[in-house]
């Protein structure tokens, strides 16, 4: 039976996770409802298969419940924490399947990796993603493509080198330089 | 301890993939072996990991298959109901102390009598925490047994320790506990020795006893 507690749908993330940590399944249900689209969307983006993505997302939620007591808001937003857990599981699933991912051809990649992403596109992002979007938009396109492929699509440098038709060393250095540049941009933003 | 530059050079181009969890097997072990002994590269990995964590919020959302939520909750309840020797140790470790849930801003008291994952399907009671007509946060009281109170303060303009107490409908007052509020934000959950329906009012005070906010719970 599905439990539905509308009041909990408005509880702050950290308070909700506190309830999850205490084993309150109404809080668990509210957390699942709040994040299922985002976690499943990320899993599907990485593994590219609905069934595998569902398995990954289910496992992510169970892991979140199991470790909710360890969530520390000082280390990041609950959304980021939940997405990171999902991402790691999805990457593991991708490697287990030994699939060779092709270059993404979806609209998300086209937008994120376009030659000149518009700052206005940040407005279409969720509140917690807009700053990341604005920082990403400042990277040179070749670095941005590598960063997006690695972070959002879980591609290794070797896979990026193949899909982008560039040497492995170039893929590695673009990824490192892109992330380092983003780190500096984020630092400037917060200082 | 910092490793030699040569060692750092050997792993430099792999640090980003390592930070993003993309390396596996031997490659990961090789980088890890260096990172644990090199504070410079370890710091680099930590900072790149933080960047990756921020970027993952850009991933697109997508509707999961029909009844996904139901299937997740069924798995959760099956896990919660199953006997688990391993989890006993895990719970014991967690239950041994106060668990910092939201950094310095939120405490969850999870003592030795903290509940096993117990279903509580009833809708919690909710109320606005307010002072002088201004909303400062929210309060929820679970309708399940045992009763838990969840508090979220979002608009208190100060930092410090606050006390939370509840007044029951029979006039008794129960202390819920002391909690930390930092820069106007705090959230916590704690057990209350009363049923949810018995709770009439919650009161947040500072250490001097001055009332910061109150919430009246309607049944």
B192, B129: one domain: yes
Nearest to A23 among B54, B62, B117 (CB): B117
How close A174 gets to chain B, by Cα (Å)? 9
Q: Answer yes or no: do B75 and A62 touch at CB < 8 A.
A: yes
Please report how many Cα atoms fall inside a 13 Å half-sphere around the Cα of residue A102, on the Cβ side. 3
Nearest to B61 among A29, A38, A69 (CB): A38
How do residues B25-74 score in pLDDT, each as one tens digit?
778 888 888 888 888 998 999 899 989 988 888 888 999 999 999 999 99
Q: What residue spans of A97-164 are helical by DSSP H?
A: 107-112, 130-136, 141-151, 157-164
Which residue, of B46, B78, B94, is where some domain finishes?
A: B94
Residue partners of A9: CB distance under 8 A and separation at least 6? A30, A33, A34
Residue partners of B185: CB distance under 8 A and separation at least 6? B105, B153, B154, B156
How do residues B71-102 score in pLDDT, each as one tens digit?
999 998 887 766 443 333 333 322 222 232 32
Whether B111 is in a domain gets the answer no
How close B158 gets to chain A, by Cα (Å)? 18
B180, B131: one domain: yes
Alpha-carbon gap, residue A61 to A40, rounded angstroms: 10
Residue B22: closest C-alpha in chain A: A156
Q: SS3 helix, strand, coil % of chain B, rounded to 5?
A: 35, 35, 35
Q: Is the reported ipTM for this assembly greater than 0.95?
A: no
Alpha-carbon gap, residue A156 to B151, rounded angstroms: 43
Q: Answer yes or no: do A38 and B59 touch at CB < 8 A.
A: yes
Tokens representing residue B45 in the block: 């990995």
3-state SS, residue B166 = strand
What b/e string do you get for B181-200 counting C-beta neighbours within 10 Å, with b at 16 or more? bbeebbbbbbbbebebebbb
B147, B194: one domain: yes
Q: How many CB atoms lie within 10 A of CB B174?
A: 15
Q: Answer yes or no: do B100 and A72 touch at CB < 8 A.
A: yes
B15, B82: one domain: no
Mean pLDDT of B15-29: 86
Q: Could you tell me if B9 lies within 8 Å of chain A, comparing CB atoms?
A: no
The CATH number linked to B146 is: 2.60.40.200
State residue A147 phi and psi, 5-degree precision. Answer: -65, -45
A47 pLDDT more than 50? yes
Domain residues for the domain of B72 are 63-94
Whether B208 is in a domain gets the answer yes
Tell me what pLDDT residue A116 has.
66
């Amino acid at each position: 039976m599905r439990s539905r507690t509308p009041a909990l749908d408005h509880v702050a993330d950290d308070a909700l996770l506190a309830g999850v940590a205490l084993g309150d399944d109404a809080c668990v249900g509210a957390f699942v409802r709040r994040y299922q689209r985002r976690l499943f969307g990320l899993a599907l983006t990485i593994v590219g298969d609905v069934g595998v993505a569902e398995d990954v997302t289910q496992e992510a939620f169970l892991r979140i419940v199991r470790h909710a007591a360890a969530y520390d808001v000082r280390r990041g937003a609950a959304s980021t924490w939940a997405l990171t857990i999902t991402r790691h599981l999805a990457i593991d699933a991708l490697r287990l399947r030994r699939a060779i991912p092709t270059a993404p051809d979806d609209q998300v990649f086209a937008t994120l990796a376009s030659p000149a992403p518009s700052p206005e596109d940040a407005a279409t992002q969720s509140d917690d993603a807009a700053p990341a979007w604005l920082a990403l938009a400042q990277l040179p396109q070749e670095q941005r493509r590598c960063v997006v492929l690695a972070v959002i699509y879980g591609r290794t440098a070797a896979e990026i080198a193949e899909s982008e038709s560039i040497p492995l060393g170039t893929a590695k250095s673009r990824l490192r330089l892109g992330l380092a540049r983003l780190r500096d941009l984020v630092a400037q933003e917060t200082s | 301890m910092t490793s030699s530059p040569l060692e750092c050079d050997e792993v430099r181009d792999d640090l980003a993939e390592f930070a993003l969890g993309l390396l596996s097997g031997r490659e990961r072990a090789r980088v890890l072996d260096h990172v644990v002994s090199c504070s410079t590269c370890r710091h680099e990995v930590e900072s790149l990991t933080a960047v990756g964590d921020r970027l993952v919020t850009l991933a697109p959302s997508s509707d999961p298959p029909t009844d996904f939520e139901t299937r997740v909750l069924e798995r959760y309840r099956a896990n919660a109901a199953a006997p688990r020797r391993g989890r006993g140790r895990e719970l014991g470790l967690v239950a041994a102390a106060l668990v910092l849930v939201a950094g310095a801003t939120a405490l969850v008291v999870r003592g030795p009598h903290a509940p096993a994952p117990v279903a509580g399907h009833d809708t919690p009671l909710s109320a606005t925490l307010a002072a002088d007509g201004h909303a400062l946060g929210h309060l929820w009281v679970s309708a399940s047994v045992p009763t838990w109170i969840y508090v979220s303060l979002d608009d208190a303009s100060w930092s410090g320790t606050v006390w939370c107490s509840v007044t029951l409908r029979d006039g008794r007052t129960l202390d819920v506990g002391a909690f930390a509020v930092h820069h106007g934000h705090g959230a916590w959950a704690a057990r209350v020795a009363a049923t949810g329906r018995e709770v009439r009012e919650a009161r947040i005070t500072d250490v001097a006893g001055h009332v910061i906010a109150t919430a009246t719970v309607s049944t």
